[in-house]
Amino acid sequence: MARVDAPALYELRRRVLRGNDPAKSVADPRDAAPTTLHFGGYLDGVLVVSATFLLAPSPTHEGPAYQLRYMATDVAVQGRGYASAVMATAIAALRERGAHQLWANARDSALGFYVKTGWRVLEGSEHLSPETQLPHTVIVMDLAPTP
Ligand SMILES: CC(C)(COP(=O)(O)OP(=O)(O)OC[C@H]1O[C@@H](n2cnc3c(N)ncnc32)[C@H](O)[C@@H]1OP(=O)(O)O)[C@@H](O)C(=O)NCCC(=O)NCCS
Q: Which long-range contacts (CB under 8 A, 24 or more apart) does 105-112 make?
A: 105/129, 105/136, 105/137, 105/138, 106/136, 106/137, 106/138, 106/139, 107/134, 107/135, 107/136, 108/134, 108/135, 108/136, 108/137, 109/134, 109/135, 110/71, 111/137, 111/139
Mutate to test the pocket of ligand 1, among 54, 113, 134 (most ligand atoms within 8 A of CB): 113
Give the pLDDT confidence score for residue 81 in this predicted structure.
98
CB 78 less than 6 A from any atom of ligand 1? yes
Low-confidence ranges of the chain (pLDDT < 50): none
Global pTM?
A: 0.96
- The CATH classification of domain 2-142, taken from the options 3.40.50.800, 2.40.50.140, 3.40.630.30, 3.20.20.60: 3.40.630.30
Give the pLDDT confidence score for residue 30 in this predicted structure.
98
Give the pLDDT confidence score for residue 15 in this predicted structure.
98
130 CA distance to ligand 1 centroid (A)?
A: 23
Give the pLDDT confidence score for residue 147 in this predicted structure.
56
